[in-house]
Structure 1
Amino acid sequence: MADTIRPKGLDAQGCIAREGSLGRVPAAFRPVVAAARDRILDVLGARLHSAYLYGSVPRGTARVGRSDLDLFVALREEPTEADRDAVRALGAAVDKEFPQIDGVGTLLYGRERLLSELERYDLGWFVACLCTPLLGDDLAEYLPRYRPDSLLARETNGDLARWLPRWRERIEGTGSGAAGEPARRPLVRFMSRHLVRTGFTLVMPRWQGWTSDLGEMAEVFAMYYPERAAQVRTAARYGHEPVGDPDLLRSYVDDLGPWLAGEYARVHGVKAPRPD
């Protein structure tokens, strides 16, 4: 399968095309999106600069009862703890009300940081290419076009080595018995997706295309690293259907993760440090 995948996801100028749109939101999720939009306005008011959807819902691939709702919110100023508490409460309320979704995740940043030079090829790219405008003034209008090059690869996923110690701590915190399985499932989903996306962006400049589909990402990676293909394909599967296997998590932080971090640094370098 891998050798049949051809580059895609670019516009006529060879830049990454913005994915997703409100028109692609499946009918079952439209009431969820409408409720989230209204509550963001109610909760943040004049502090809100803009809000976006990202992930499977605006791409039109969300599954009822299985997919989460991903929100990205930009404030006029840097967010406070009260802002973070407010959006967490908003997400919990929307998740409780709508069985169509399996959780709500909200990323919250200030406008100045999103448009900063430091974030131009990370959070800025994320907004411009992966986010669908929902409310306010679209920040993409102030950002450049992006190509699938080594700079973008480095600044999006070139920090895996910094994450691995934190991942180990989170795994240890779940314990080793069956009682920790519910806590390990979301870790498996999160880490699986992170590793697959990192594997994909490692080879993205050679492939010269873009995709957000985990299965396709794994197959593109397999074209260039067949010796690691089985591990990344497995991670793509568990990114959709997570299990609570502690051995799988340990393999991520003891084998696949360290190898991927080292290879990433060798090929693209290390991401510039962020304040948080």
Structure 2
Amino acid sequence: MPKKVASRGLDPLGFIEREGSHARVPHVFRPVVAAARDRLLDVFGARLDSAYLYGSIPRGTARAGHSDLDLVVVLREEPTGADRDAARALGEAVDKEYAQIDGVGTLLFSRARVLSEVERHDIGWFVACLCTPLLGEDLAEFLPRYRPDSLLARETNGDLAGLLPRWRERIAAAEDTEESLRPLVRFMSRHLVRTGFTLVMPRWNGWTSNLREMAEAFAGYYPERAGQLRRAAESGYEPVGDRAVLRSYVDDLGPWLADEYARVHGVKAPRPPGWD
């Protein structure tokens, strides 16, 4: 019999398959998901267009006491500052009540933004391929199928050069404590690993959300930087609050990755003001 070829997250036609489902949510996290769903309805009511889960919980890889609950909330109009405050308060309340999770992260967008042409290969792709429907109409029905091509790479992570100055400001403002630095290491590590992966994604021809698999895919094309991305992948899962790690990201790995990304894929298309 011929050897079976790994799908690498693609369907038989070469499109990225949607990851995650309610069936994969570990039993221990199901009460958390139910609580979040009910409270989103209470907070946003008729203004809520749709809501989604993403991350390790719907992928079935979450660890009780270590993983966070990741949500996307789509409103019928552009989110306001009050909406973001309400989402933050909801997340803090759920996090406090359920020991199974280590934090709640909520992204807010408008329906128009998710379905806009400029966001089709960024937020649109994210909702269609990486998010699991929780409430309302599934906007994936209005979006195309996606291949792991250079356009997708450019529009998802082709903005690293513009992010690095903000990262430097956040690092400079952070206190020298584990509590302050650890979340920054986790966030920046994950972002750099994902950027390294999407840099090579069209050549690797597939999709994965596993940070270690991302780092290994990258290593096949940039062996001279492989060690840095592998260490970043580990820090994405088990971060330590180390300012030296953060400085290496914004002084070395990040600038190199931004330059190489622009050379290979180009720079992400500009977004309207307020869409950062």
Q: Same fold (TM over 0.5)?
A: yes
Q: Which amino acid aligns with 1:200?
A: F
Structure 1 residues 249-264: aligned runs within 5 Å: 249-264=246-261
Specify the alignment match of 1:150 in structure 2: 150
| Cα shift at 1:7 | 5.6
- Aligned partner of 2:196 among 183, 186, 199: 199
Contact 1:74 1:111 in 2 (8 A): yes
1:189 paired with 2:186, answer: yes
- Aligned partner of 1:225 among 212, 219, 222: 222
Task: Work out the CA distance in 2 between the residues paired with 1:258 and 1:88.
Answer: 32
Specify the alignment match of 2:40 in structure 1: 40
Q: Which amino acid aligns with 1:182?
A: E
Specify the alignment match of 1:50 in structure 2: 50
Specify the alignment match of 2:21 in structure 1: 21
Deviations 1:147-196 (A, max 9, x none): 00000000000000000000000101124xxx433100000000000000
Task: Work out the CA distance in 1 between the residues paired with 2:224 and 2:101.
Answer: 36
Task: Work out the CA distance in 1 between the residues paired with 2:188 and 2:39.
Answer: 30
Deviations 1:110-150 (A, max 9, x none): 00011000000000000000000000000000000000000
Contact 1:7 1:210 in 2 (8 A): no
Specify the alignment match of 1:125 in structure 2: 125
Task: Work out the CA distance in 1 between the residues paired with 2:177 and 2:170.
Answer: 11
Specify the alignment match of 1:247 in structure 2: 244
Task: Work out the CA distance in 2 between the residues paired with 1:84 and 1:247.
Answer: 32
> For 2:209, what is the secondary structure of its paired residue?
coil
Contact 1:157 1:201 in 2 (8 A): yes
Contact 1:148 1:204 in 2 (8 A): yes
Deviations 1:209-254 (A, max 9, x none): 0000000000000000000000000000000000011111000000
> For 1:185, what is the secondary structure of its paired residue?
helix
> For 2:71, what is the secondary structure of its paired residue?
strand
Task: Work out the CA distance in 2 between the residues paired with 1:56 and 1:244.
Answer: 22
Which 4+ runs in 1 deviate beyond 2 A?
none
1:65 paired with 2:65, answer: yes
Q: Which amino acid aligns with 2:119?
A: E
Contact 1:7 1:207 in 2 (8 A): no
Structure 2, unpaired ranges of 5+: none
> For 1:109, what is the secondary structure of its paired residue?
strand
- When the two structures are superposed, what TM-score results if normalisation uses the length of structure 1? 0.96
Task: Work out the CA distance in 2 between the residues paired with 1:6 and 1:171.
Answer: 40
Task: Work out the CA distance in 2 between the residues paired with 1:161 and 1:99.
Answer: 37
> For 1:161, what is the secondary structure of its paired residue?
helix
Task: Work out the CA distance in 2 between the residues paired with 1:58 and 1:202.
Answer: 25
Specify the alignment match of 2:10 in structure 1: 10
Structure 1 residues 204-219: aligned runs within 5 Å: 204-219=201-216
Deviations 1:66-98 (A, max 9, x none): 000000010011111111111111000000000
Structure 1, unpaired ranges of 5+: none
1:236 paired with 2:238, answer: no
Aligned pair count? 269
- When the two structures are superposed, what TM-score results if normalisation uses the length of structure 2? 0.96
